[in-house]
């Protein structure tokens, strides 16, 4: 099976990247995906799922992989935090993202 991959990210200014935390970090496939594009001038917004681990280790990984991109603080989603997720999604529209 061939992995799904967008042909071109030029039309997007903001890219949301979601992933599970595996062994305290984002999966290598996420880093490989980000490294395969020129993300200069784009904003990469990370969010993850994890029962126990925070997002901090994966943020370092995402920032290194998304060379040239602005990477705002990410968001960790805990399975029981559905109301918090709704609030986070509402707040995204208010982020001061420079273009």
**Alpha carbon distance 93, 84 (integer Å):** 15
Q: Which helix (H) or strand (E) holds 49?
A: strand 43-49
**Alpha carbon distance 94, 46 (integer Å):** 16
The burial of 72, by beta-carbon neighbours within 10 Å (0-12 exposed, 13-18 middle, 19 or more buried), is given as: middle
**Alpha carbon distance 88, 72 (integer Å):** 13
Q: Name the class of domain 14-92.
A: alpha beta
Prediction pTM value:
0.77
Distances in Å between the Cα of 40 and the Cα atoms of 8, 16, 21, 68 are: 14, 15, 25, 4
Q: How confident is the prediction along the chain (99 residues), in pLDDT tens digits per residue?
A: 566 677 788 889 999 999 999 888 999 999 999 999 999 999 999 999 888 888 888 999 999 999 999 999 888 887 667 777 777 777 776 665 554
Q: For the chain, what are the domain ranges?
A: 14-92
């Amino acid at each position: 099976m061939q992995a799904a991959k967008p042909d071109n990210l030029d039309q997007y200014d903001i890219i949301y990247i979601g992933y599970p935390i595996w062994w305290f970090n984002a999966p290598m496939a996420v880093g490989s995906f980000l490294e395969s594009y020129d993300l200069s001038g784009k904003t990469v917004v990370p969010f993850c799922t994890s029962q126990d681990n925070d997002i901090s280790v994966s943020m370092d990984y995402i920032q290194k992989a998304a060379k040239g991109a602005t990477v705002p603080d990410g968001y960790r989603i805990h399975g029981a935090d559905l109301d918090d997720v709704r609030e986070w999604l509402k707040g995204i529209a208010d982020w001061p993202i420079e273009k």
